[in-house]
């Protein structure tokens, strides 16, 4: 290897210094630049556009099912972005949220970029709420008192509409390790009876809810209440039956939440498809497979809508997904208080 020399002067004295032709390689850590919010929004809308082009209802439901697991904690956009970055993601939380569940990030944990709303209060995630509830129970408070404290202290559902977003990282459970002696259950089982009762209690806070015996025709309907100022949900229920009536209640509650009675700009068939798609996603999130019933129902109404020149748009899909998210959030918030 050839040598190179430089001369350095120190007063009247010159010193020749040998330097080698090839210097020592220095490792430089390159910081990953996160995507810009606009880039993530564009990606999510592109995914919605592609789904809106799916004309086969069975294929649409299979595609939408990919996002049902994370819809309880994330918006439609973020659920799609999470699946896009990690198709195997199941339970996704922030670093701080994993700490509440007694888990720590692995050294090589790979974060998933999501959108965070700016200018409105952030929703408090389940781990933080659970830690608070456990602490208050240890202090001897009853569940009714704890529920009131939770409602006052935490943002458990929708906190407003955001128009400006930032970005942040969240992590799938596969990117974490349990902290010995501190790990807590991340997801708890709930019975169908408990789920139906919880959803019915939630619905009664906003609407009139009635159960009636099965008769010929629909399993349920939503109508204006007697005074015309509210909405009434009616479900047909066989004594001892829970799963079918749960499906019906989610569907009818979706109609009410999406304000279909007053949205004359949404064709009837499209409104039915929105409500049923919401019911399908909520069911899938809690482990119920409504696919066959949902597909048959949606096919019928979408065929009618098509004859009138209407099809599901990306906005319809977005509305259905976010409606499902709010219903899931309401259920989880109610269950977390032990009520």
Q: Is the pLDDT of residue 159 over 60?
A: no
Mean pLDDT of 288-312: 95
Is the CB of residue 133 less than 8 Å from the CB of residue 106?
Answer: no
Q: Classify 103 as helix, strand or coil.
A: strand
Higher pLDDT, 264 or 158: 264
pTM of structure? 0.78
Give percent of the chain above pLDDT 70: 77
**Range list of H helices, 66-120:** 76-85, 95-100
Residues with Cβ within 8 Å of 117's Cβ and at least 6 positions away in sequence, in order, are 160, 162, 164, 165
Ranked by mean pLDDT, which of 163-167, 237-241, 307-311 comes out on top?
307-311
| DSSP conformation class of 235 | E
112: which strand partners?
170
d(CA 334, CA 198): 7
**Residues constituting the chain:** 339
Query: How far apart (Å, rounded) are the C-alpha atoms in residues 209 and 211?
Result: 7
- Angstrom distance (rounded) from CA 79 to CA 94: 14
pLDDT at 59: 96
Please state, as a whole number, how many other Cβ atoms lie within 10 Å of the Cβ of residue 266: 19
**How confident is the model at residue 202, as a pLDDT?**
94
In the prediction, which pLDDT does 22 show? Answer: 47
Q: Give SS3 for 7.
A: strand
Domain ranges of the chain: 37-336
Q: pLDDT tens-digit profile of 108-121?
A: 999 999 988 776 55
Element (H, E) at 318: helix 314-336
The whole-angstrom separation of Cα 75 and Cα 324 is 10
How far is 72 from 157, CA to CA, in rounded Å? 10
Identify which of 123-127, 152-156, 215-219, 309-313 has the greatest average pLDDT.
309-313
If one compares 63 and 132, the residue with the highest pLDDT of the two is 63
Residue 178 or 240, more confident = 178
Q: Which residue has the higher pLDDT, 286 or 128?
A: 286
Give the mean pLDDT of 260-276.
Answer: 95
> Is the pLDDT confidence value at 1 over 60?
no
Radius of gyration of the chain (CA): 27
pLDDT of residue 21: 47
DSSP character for 187?
Answer: S
Closest CA to 184 of 109, 124, 133: 133
Mean pLDDT in residue range 140-149: 69
Judge whether residue 158 has pLDDT over 70.
no
Phi and psi (nearest 5°) for 221?
Answer: -160, 160
Query: Taking 50 as the threshold, does the pLDDT of residue 54 lie above it?
Result: yes
pLDDT band at 84 (very low <50, low <70, confident <90, very high): very high
Averaged pLDDT of the chain: 84
How large is the average pLDDT for residues 300-307? 95
Burial class (CB in 10 A: 0-12, 13-18, 19+), 327: buried
List pLDDT tens digits, range 21-37. 445 555 544 456 667 88
Distance between CA atoms of residues 56 and 302, nearest Å: 10
Q: What's the 3-state SS for 112-125?
A: EEEEEEECCCCCCC
């Amino acid at each position: 290897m050839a040598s190179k020399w430089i001369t350095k002067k120190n007063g009247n004295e010159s010193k020749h210094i040998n330097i080698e032709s090839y210097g020592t390689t220095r490792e430089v850590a390159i910081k990953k630049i996160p995507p810009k919010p606009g880039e993530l929004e564009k990606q999510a809308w592109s995914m919605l556009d592609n789904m809106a082009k799916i004309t086969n209802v069975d294929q649409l439901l299979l595609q939408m099912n990919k996002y049902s697991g994370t819809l309880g904690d994330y918006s439609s956009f973020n659920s799609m972005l999470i699946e896009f970055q990690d198709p195997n993601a199941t339970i996704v939380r922030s670093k701080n949220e994993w700490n509440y569940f007694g888990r720590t990030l692995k050294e090589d944990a790979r974060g998933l970029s999501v959108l965070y709303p700016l200018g409105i209060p952030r929703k408090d995630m389940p781990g933080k709420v659970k830690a608070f509830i456990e602490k208050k129970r240890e202090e001897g408070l009853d569940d009714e008192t704890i529920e009131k404290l939770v409602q006052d202290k935490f943002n458990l559902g929708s906190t407003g509409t955001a128009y400006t977003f930032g970005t942040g990282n969240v992590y799938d459970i596969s990117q974490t390790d349990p902290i010995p002696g501190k790990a807590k259950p991340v997801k708890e089982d709930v019975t169908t009876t408990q789920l139906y009762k919880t959803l019915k209690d939630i619905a009664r806070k906003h609407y009139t809810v009635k159960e009636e015996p099965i008769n010929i025709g629909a399993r349920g309907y939503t109508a204006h209440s007697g005074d015309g100022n509210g909405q009434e949900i009616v479900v047909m229920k066989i004594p001892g039956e829970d799963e079918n009536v749960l499906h019906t209640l989610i569907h009818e509650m979706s109609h009410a939440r999406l304000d279909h009675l007053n949205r004359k700009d949404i064709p009837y068939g499209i409104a039915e498809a929105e409500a049923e798609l919401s019911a399908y996603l909520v069911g899938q999130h809690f482990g119920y497979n409504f696919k066959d019933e949902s597909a048959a129902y949606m096919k019928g109404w979408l065929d009618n809508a098509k004859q009138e020149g209407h099809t599901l748009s990306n906005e319809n899909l977005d509305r259905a997904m976010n409606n499902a998210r709010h219903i899931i959030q309401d259920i989880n918030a109610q269950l977390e208080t032990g009520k």
